[in-house]
Structure 1
């Protein structure tokens, strides 16, 4: 049995059916195909046909998007070897830790702005000191720490 015969014997999904099952627009599925993230197993009359497992493949892409991976990172992850995947995970964890640090600093600054005794945060001496520190090239957390 040839590969095309085995593909035709196995039920496949049209791009519309895959879209319905995953909630992902057909335009995004075409883009995923271009990027090599979710590939059709065949074409029938020029139309993409997907294996039933493509529903899970799309789910993997959606999950990685939800946890902060770019489509390029997902492509590297899916196409990589085990050690490459670990390196991508380590890189993403470091990136998320940095994002968390920045969010924490921003939250502290905004909380101060909400509780600031000045009527307007733009007239607050601490706020202005933080801005001046940033203009001098200090990182936000250091500028904020020096103002307090």
Structure 2
């Protein structure tokens, strides 16, 4: 059995975060000794899974659902996250394109760039940044 400090040392996750994970029901101590949490060695792997999924973009609520869910539910969660990340990737690419244009814009003053003004006007008229950017090209 590992104390919360030992689990923290083995995973690199602060003890305060481990307590928070316990409060959320993500990683529960196997026992309490004199009021202190004690974890099984498998908790190291459980924490690794949580950290991995958090790092690839899952929320803690999604991770809890993934860990406790059925196989089909997990697949649906992964499919939904993939769609979300693809949409985010597209928004980032549009932003990169817009910033790259701003960096190489032939206008003396970027604030007077007709393309940038067109994108902003489109956005003010209710178009998304992506739509405004597409209309300006």
TM over 0.5: yes
RMSD: 0.7
What residue number does 2:18 align with? 29
Runs of 4+ off more than 4 Å: none
CA–CA separation in structure 2 for the residues paired with 1:65 and 1:145:
33
Write the distance in 2 (CA, Å) between the matches of 1:103 and 1:50: 40
1:98 lines up with 2:92 in the alignment: no
Q: How does 1:1-148 map to 2 (within 5 A)?
A: 12-148=1-137
Q: Deviations over 1:60-101 (max 9, x none)?
A: 000001100010110111111011101100110000000010
Q: Give the structure-2-normalised TM-score.
A: 0.98
For the residue of structure 1 that corresponds to 2:45, the secondary structure is: helix
Structure 2: stretches of 5+ with no match in the other structure: none
Q: Distance in 2 between matches of 1:134 and 1:94?
A: 24
Unaligned runs of 5+ in 1: 1-11
Q: What is the TM-score with the length of structure 1 in the denominator?
A: 0.91
| Greater C-alpha Rg | 1
The number of residue pairs the alignment matches comes to 137
